[in-house]
Amino acid sequence: MSDHVHVVLATDNTYAPWAGVLISSILDTRPDGAMEFHLVEQGVSTDNRERINALGAGRLDVSIHWYTPDPCAFSSFPIKRYGIASYYRLSIASILPASVKRVIYLDCDVLATTDIGDLLDDHDPAHMLAAVENIGGPTSQLCKPGRYFNSGVLVINLEAWRARRCEEKLLDLMREQGDTFEYPDQDALNVLFHGEWQRLPLRWNVQPGVWSRYEKKRFSKTGYDADSFEAAVKRPGLVHFLAKKKPWVFGCFHPFRKLWLSYLDDSSWRSLKPQPESIWGRAVHYMNVASHAKEMRRARYLSQQSSSGCVRAP
Ligand SMILES: [Mn+2]
């Protein structure tokens, strides 16, 4: 178990409660061990900031730091639907103090189901960047199948990143090719680190497409084998609510929706529990028996394992 873990999240005010849920899940699954959270923010309200700070208040070994970069530095980049905050991950090395040498970057639509310190044990420090392949999500034409990684979970060796001026190269790529990128910052990272990133075990970024591939035994077009898929569904480390599978949206079906909602319910943001827009919307949701059954079946893969390392069952 790694003893000192640095986690970086980037958020605006809309995503701040989801960042809070993620932090709650990380603290819950890592009850001991020093942790520092680095929140790179834009427009987070004082109220949300205080609520997030309160999450770490009971732990002497946990600290939370805030950074507010100048958004003007990114105003020339294509924003599309992702917003400026999605560029902040490209600039982590200059935003964070030089004393921070290695970080885990997480999207706010992630949930921790295992001690996140174990992720660092799977990282080979010789690699500047470690990630999990993009599975079943939107694909890009930039890389061959199996070679394109998802940028929602990254382990970054910041020391090497700074020495090799990666940030400058990434921002140049964004300026020159950003308009042609479908997923701007994820594409820029994939172009720069093509063939050089360390492939992490699939269980560190369990994307929605993992369950269907596991069930249909369709592994061949990915860089992972059957055992990796089995570990991902039975012993997930970090679950990623990728693309449209957001647990804060009413009507979402996902094997870990209930676990995510239980953290929301225990938090000071419980009033944000997703509600249907109409009685009809609620009826349609509950009548969707097949999707409920699929969600429950997939959630049960985990509970079959007694030593899953998961503090709460979904
Ligand atoms: Mn994401």
Supply 248's token pair: 């804060």
Give residue 137's pLDDT: 57
In CATH, what is the architecture of 4-245?
Alpha-Beta Complex (3.90)
Give residue 9's pLDDT: 96
- Write phi, then psi, for 175 (nearest 5 degrees): -65, -40
Ligand 1 centroid – CA 110 distance (Å)? 7
Ligand 1 centroid – CA 65 distance (Å)? 22
Ligand 1 centroid – CA 165 distance (Å)? 25
Give residue 306's pLDDT: 47
**Closest C-alpha to 91, from 66, 111, 69:** 69
Give residue 62's pLDDT: 96
Ligand 1 centroid – CA 153 distance (Å)? 8
Ligand 1 centroid – CA 59 distance (Å)? 27
| CB contact at 8 A, 133 and 207 | no
- Give me the tens of pLDDT residue by residue for the chain, a chain 314 residues long: 557 899 999 999 999 999 999 999 999 999 999 999 999 999 999 999 999 999 999 899 999 999 999 888 777 776 665 667 667 888 999 999 999 999 999 999 999 999 999 999 999 999 999 999 999 755 666 777 788 999 999 999 999 999 999 999 998 888 888 778 888 889 999 999 998 999 999 999 999 999 999 999 998 788 999 999 999 999 999 999 987 889 999 999 999 999 999 999 999 999 999 998 899 989 998 899 999 999 999 999 986 654 455 557 67
Supply 3's token pair: 């003893």
Strand partners, 155: 104, 130
Neighbours of 31 (CB within 10 A): 9
- Write phi, then psi, for 247 (nearest 5 degrees): -70, -15
Ligand 1 centroid – CA 162 distance (Å)? 25
Coil, strand, or helix at residue 24? helix
| pTM assigned to the model | 0.94
Ligand 1 centroid – CA 239 distance (Å)? 10
**H/E element holding 167?**
helix 166-177
Give residue 177's pLDDT: 83
Q: What is the dihedral of CA 245, 302, 147, 149, to 10 degrees?
A: 50
**Sheet with 198-199: strands ordered across:** 62-67, 34-42, 4-12, 102-106, 149-157, 129-133, 198-199
DSSP string for residues in 62-96: EEEEEE---GGGGTTS--TTT-GGGGGGGGHHHHS
Query: CA-CA distance, 155 to 49, in Å (whole number)?
Result: 25
Ligand 1 centroid – CA 109 distance (Å)? 5
Give residue 240's pLDDT: 97
Domain coordinates of the chain in residue numbers? 4-245
Give residue 139's pLDDT: 61
Q: Which residues contact 10 (CB under 8 A, 6 or more apart)?
A: 39, 40, 41, 85, 86, 88, 89, 105, 108
- Write phi, then psi, for 283 (nearest 5 degrees): -60, -45
Give residue 71's pLDDT: 80
Burial class (CB in 10 A: 0-12, 13-18, 19+), 11: buried
Ligand 1 centroid – CA 244 distance (Å)? 10
Ligand 1 centroid – CA 108 distance (Å)? 7
Give residue 1's pLDDT: 52
- The one-letter amino acid code at 93 reads A
Query: CA-CA distance, 139 to 110, in Å (whole number)?
Result: 20
| CB contact at 8 A, 246 and 216 | no
Ligand 1 centroid – CA 127 distance (Å)? 23
Give residue 181's pLDDT: 82
